Amino acid sequence: MLSNAIIITVLLIILFAAVKGSLKHFKGEGGCCGGGGSVVEEPDKKLDGPVIKTSIYKIEGMTCVNCTNRVKRAINRIDGASASLNLRKKQAVVQFDKDIDDSILISEIEKLGYKVTHH
């Protein structure tokens, strides 16, 4: 009888830890994608010139802040583009101060393993 109580207690502890980790993951606070602990959001990039165009890209596959940081860094490496990402909406809002073809941006995002579903 005592052994059953111990087994049930251990299972409840494991279940609690699993649920807690899952909730953090779905809120984008988990340590997936090579991260862990507290994750600092990638800083915004300032454009050199005035904004001439703004585009919104829907991105599938981003599950955490580490994912959005990877995508933001990739976009911000493109001269003339500056990104702001929203994990909950799974989108990137990109401002441009130069004329950049969408295919360049989409290619950089998809090289990371994400899928651009709408732009």
What does the pLDDT read at residue 20?
74
pTM over 0.85: no
DSSP 32-73: -TT--SS-PPPPP---SS---EEEEEEEES--SHHHHHHHHH
Write down the domain spans for the chain: 1-30, 53-118
- Report how far residue 58's alpha carbon sits from residue 80's, in angstroms, rounded to the nearest whole number: 20
| CATH number, domain 53-118 | 3.30.70.100
Taking only the tens place, the pLDDT of each residue in 65-103 is: 899 999 999 999 999 999 999 999 999 999 999 999 999
% of the chain exceeding 70 in pLDDT:
83
- Where does the pLDDT of residue 25 fall: very low under 50, low under 70, confident under 90, or very high at 90 and above? low
